[in-house]
Amino acid sequence: QVQLVESGGGLVQAGGSLRLSCAASGRTFSSSAMGWFRQAPGKEREFVAGINWSGGSTHYADSVKGRFTISRDNAKNTVYLQMNSLKPEDTADYYCAASRYYARVVLTGYDYWGQGTQVTVSS
């Protein structure tokens, strides 16, 4: 079992930056693929970024490539999402997710979810 708690959301102006953190509990964190997703009001949840167990492989949605960076610190059981050059269209609830079965980067197949943290980007 893995429990995930996100933090770091807030209100920022367009062009600004935020760093989201996701603290995980559970012995399997260091062997699990991790991901960030987001859901804007009235829209479906979408994949934002994923990272493999070691942090050596990452994958990003085209909409955030070059602006967002996912990373992890297995010693701290934490995964991060550094968000730069934020745009109003990045406004959403952001969720951290962990895979029970996959160690490599995956876009789907996540089993554990955090409660979400809200990001609002003003124009």
| pLDDT at 95 > cutoff 80 | yes
Give the pLDDT of residue 2. 86
CB 107, CB 59: distance < 8 Å: yes
Per DSSP, the three-state class of 112 is strand
What value does the mean pLDDT take over residues 82-86?
Answer: 98
| DSSP string across 6-58 | EE--EEEETT--EEEEEEEESTTGGGS-EEEEEE-TTS--EEEEEE-SSSS-E
Confidence of residue 117 (pLDDT cuts 50, 70, 90): very high
Length of the chain: 123
Whole-number mean pLDDT of the chain? 96
- Is residue 26 exposed (0-12), middle (13-18) or buried (19+ Cβ within 10 Å)? middle
pLDDT in tens, 21-40: 999 998 788 899 999 999 99
| pLDDT at 98 > cutoff 90 | yes
| pLDDT at 51 > cutoff 90 | yes
Tokens of 70: 């996912």
What value does the mean pLDDT take over residues 51-57?
Answer: 96
Give the pLDDT of residue 27. 74
- Is residue 108 exposed (0-12), middle (13-18) or buried (19+ Cβ within 10 Å)? exposed
Virtual torsion, Cα 84, 85, 88, 93, nearest 10 deg: -10
Q: How many beta carbons lie within 10 A of that of residue 25, not counting itself?
A: 11
